[in-house]
């Protein structure tokens, strides 16, 4: 037996011993349950209020989705110049309103003058929402308007910006003052923002997984050391695919579910895709078409 072969065998033996040792002493860290995430059937969350059935982030969209019977809303938030938290996705106004400029450079009274219905349905002439008074909604207004809805809140402002540095604390104070700790999930693409928020919340509010946490979980799942993974999030809201990696594998969903971390997928509008994800173990569907998603899940339950 050659020297290189002996070294290779020794390395494999050491790796196997490390795996066996870690497996023997590791105790899976199951995530403590959160009230907002205790449901038996897949939750249907209207993405930005249901942006395919009414202008995104408008009160019309939220009202329409609530009347359809959704479990909650998936929303984005940003901070205005006068430090109000509004329900809005884009950094700039151009795509979804009749205005222009950065959200953070305008105060709420200025933003209220904009028409959220302006670009709905590709701004066609038959747009029923244009000029009908649909305007910016604050997070406080949304929470108070729909007391029976749970809301997934995504902090969009980058932690490197002034508004991003403020929004975790501002959001915590609003949630705490309204006493809605058990009605919301707080997340962000930026793991740093989630960590900042949780410094205030101290695990009293359910938190989602940022991009780094998702990568960490998927790497653990694909390794021999998945038993060492300790989730920092209460729920994963993810696409079905990231780069070349499939995130909708039943085994990956089960890996997280066994740690008491449900998985929600966005943005899913097609009935067959919804059926496939639910069958794979998904606990939530984030959709622009809550009407389709609700009917699809209902039909699946009846069959």
Q: What share of the chain is helix, strand, coil (3-state, %, to 5)?
A: 40, 15, 40
Instruction: Let me know: does 213 contact 10? Beta carbons within 8 Å.
Output: no
The pLDDT value given to residue 106: 97
1 within domain boundaries: no
pLDDT, one tens digit per residue, over 236-279 is 999 999 888 899 999 999 999 999 999 999 999 999 999 999 99
The pLDDT value given to residue 120: 86
pLDDT band (50, 70, 90) for residue 10: very low
Separation between Cα atoms, residue 102 and residue 118, nearest integer Å? 17
> String of b and e for 228-242 (b: at least 16 CB within 10 Å)?
ebebbbbbbbbebee
Rounded average pLDDT over 24-34: 73
The number of folded domains in the chain is 1
257 within domain boundaries: yes
Reply yes or no on whether 181 is catalytic: no
298 within domain boundaries: yes
97 within domain boundaries: no
Distances (CA, A) of 153 to 75, 86, 119: 5, 11, 23
Residues 6+ apart with CB under 8 A from 53: 61, 64, 65, 288, 289, 290, 291
CATH of the domain at 250: 3.20.20.190
Separation between Cα atoms, residue 157 and residue 192, nearest integer Å? 11
243 within domain boundaries: yes
Reply yes or no on whether 47 is catalytic: yes
131 within domain boundaries: no
Instruction: Let me know: does 218 contact 252? Beta carbons within 8 Å.
Output: yes
Strands 245-246 and 241-242, sheet pairing = antiparallel
Quick check: 175 pLDDT over 80? yes
Burial of 72: CB neighbours in 10 Å, binned 0-12, 13-18, 19+: buried
pLDDT, one tens digit per residue, over 60-82 is 999 999 999 999 999 999 999 99
The pLDDT value given to residue 24: 43
Name which residue leads in pLDDT, 193 or 96: 193
| Domain carrying residue 293 | 30-77+149-161+169-302
- Across the chain, what does the average pLDDT equal? 90
pTM for this model (two decimals): 0.89
Separation between Cα atoms, residue 153 and residue 96, nearest integer Å? 19
The pLDDT value given to residue 13: 42
pLDDT band (50, 70, 90) for residue 8: very low
284 within domain boundaries: yes
Tokens encoding 224: 């021999």
| Three-class DSSP category at 127 | coil
Tokens encoding 124: 């066609």
130 within domain boundaries: no
pLDDT, one tens digit per residue, over 179-226 is 999 999 999 999 999 999 999 999 999 999 999 999 999 999 999 887
Quick check: 22 pLDDT over 70? no
The pLDDT value given to residue 27: 63
Catalytic residue, chosen from 89, 181, 227, 264, is: 89
pLDDT, one tens digit per residue, over 103-136 is 999 999 999 999 999 888 765 677 889 989 999 9
């Amino acid at each position: 037996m050659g020297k290189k072969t002996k070294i290779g065998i020794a390395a494999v033996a050491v790796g196997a011993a490390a795996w066996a040792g870690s497996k023997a002493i590791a105790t899976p860290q199951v995530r403590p349950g959160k009230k907002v995430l205790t449901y038996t059937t897949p939750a249907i969350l209207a993405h930005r209020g249901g942006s395919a059935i009414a202008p995104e982030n408008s009160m019309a969209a939220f009202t329409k989705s609530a009347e359809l019977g959704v479990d909650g809303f998936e929303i984005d938030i940003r901070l205005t110049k006068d430090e109000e938290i509004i329900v809005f996705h884009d950094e700039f106004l151009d795509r979804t309103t009749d205005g222009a400029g950065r959200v953070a450079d305008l105060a709420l009274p200025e933003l209220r003058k904009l028409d959220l219905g302006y670009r709905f349905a590709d701004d066609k002439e038959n747009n029923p929402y244009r000029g009908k008074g649909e305007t910016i909604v604050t997070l406080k207004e949304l929470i108070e308007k729909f007391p029976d809805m749970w809301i997934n809140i995504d902090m969009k402002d980058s932690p490197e910006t002034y508004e991003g540095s403020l929004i975790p604390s501002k959001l915590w104070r609003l949630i705490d003052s309204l006493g809605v700790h058990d009605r919301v999930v707080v997340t962000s693409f930026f793991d740093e923002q989630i960590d900042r928020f949780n410094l205030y919340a101290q695990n009293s509010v359910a938190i989602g997984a940022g991009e780094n946490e998702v990568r960490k979980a998927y790497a653990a799942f694909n390794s021999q050391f998945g038993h060492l993974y300790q989730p920092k999030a209460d729920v994963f809201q993810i696409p079905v695919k990231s780069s070349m990696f499939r995130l909708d594998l039943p085994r990956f969903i089960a890996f997280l579910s066994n740690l008491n971390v449900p998985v929600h997928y966005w943005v899913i509008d097609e009935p067959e895709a919804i059926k496939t994800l639910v069958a794979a173990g998904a606990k939530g569907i984030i959709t622009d078409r809550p009407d389709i998603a609700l009917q699809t899940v209902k039909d699946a339950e009846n069959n």
